[in-house]
Amino acid sequence: MGPYEILDAIGAGGMGEVYRARDTRLDRTVAIKILPAHFSLDPVRKQRFEREAKTISSLNHPRICVLHDVGSQDGIDYLVMELVEGETLAKRLEKGPLPLEQVLKYGMQIADALDKAHRSGVIHRDMKPGNIMLTATGAKLLDFGLAKPAASMATNPQSPTTKPSSSALSRPSTS
Using alpha carbons, list the distances in angstroms from residue 98 to 61, 88, 101, 103, 107.
Answer: 24, 13, 8, 6, 11
Spot the catalytic one: 42, 74, 115, 126: 126
Please indicate whether residue 74 is annotated as part of the active site. Answer: no
CA-based R_g, the chain, Å = 18
Task: Please calculate the CA angle 8-30-85 and round it to the nearest 5 degrees.
Answer: 80
SS (H, E, C) 66-104: CEEEEEEECCEEEEEEECCCCEEHHHHHCCCCCCHHHHH
Cβ proximity of 81 and 66 under 8 Å: yes
Cβ proximity of 120 and 81 under 8 Å: no
Q: In what order do the strands lie in the sheet with 138-141?
A: 87-88, 132-135, 138-141
Catalytic residues: 126
